[in-house]
Structure 1
């Protein structure tokens, strides 16, 4: 099983950071048919072959995900896309 583990700094107020994460989650849901749900300051996302979360911290975001066997073949492009979107939004 392959894993993605990304930490990304942010300087946004909590409400704005959460809104930005929501926008990212909507794109994930549309593009990759992910199901997303908040649990406090953690956004959980899932679909067949992917299980992960985005934790909203005071000054950073922590994205971690477990990729199933087939999804793991696309780890690098998935990780690069996550980093690109985080750089765009934060």
Structure 2
């Protein structure tokens, strides 16, 4: 078995982090056929996820995301690729959203 451990700090607060965690859970359910269970707490939320060959948790607090996962024997061979994909997905969700350009003012 191979273990994954990722830690990402943020400044979103718990409410903002929850939105990102919900998006992440939906994304891994669709893209990787994961089964996710989201449990809200007062100071920390937990997303439990599993599918054949992998299980883990994403802990969500007001200032960090902590992902812990165990990969089965077969998926363990792809640990680096799986970790890179998880990092990419989480970092994209955490990236500041670009401001939409304002429409040019019309002349009268």
Report the TM-score range of the alignment, normalised by the length of the smaller protein: over 0.9
User: Whose relative contact order is higher, 1 or 2, with alpha carbons under 8 Å and at least 6 apart?
Assistant: 1
Count of residue pairs the alignment pairs up: 90
Q: Deviations over 1:16-72 (max 9, x none)?
A: 211111111111111111000112300000001001010012211100100000111
CA distance in 1, matches of 2:46, 2:36: 10
Note the 1:15-54 alignment, pairs <5 A: 15-40=15-40, 41-54=45-58
Which structure carries more helix by proportion? 1
Q: TM-score, normalised by structure 1?
A: 0.93
**Offset of residue 13 of structure 1:** 2.2
Instruction: Structure 2 unaligned segments of length 5 or more: list them.
Output: 95-108
Equivalent residue in structure 2 for 1:72, among 70, 73, 76: 76
RMSD after superposition = 1.0
Q: TM-score, normalised by structure 2?
A: 0.79
> Does the alignment pair 1:61 with 2:65?
yes
Offset at 1:88? 1.3
Runs in 1 of length 4+ with deviation above 2 angstroms? none
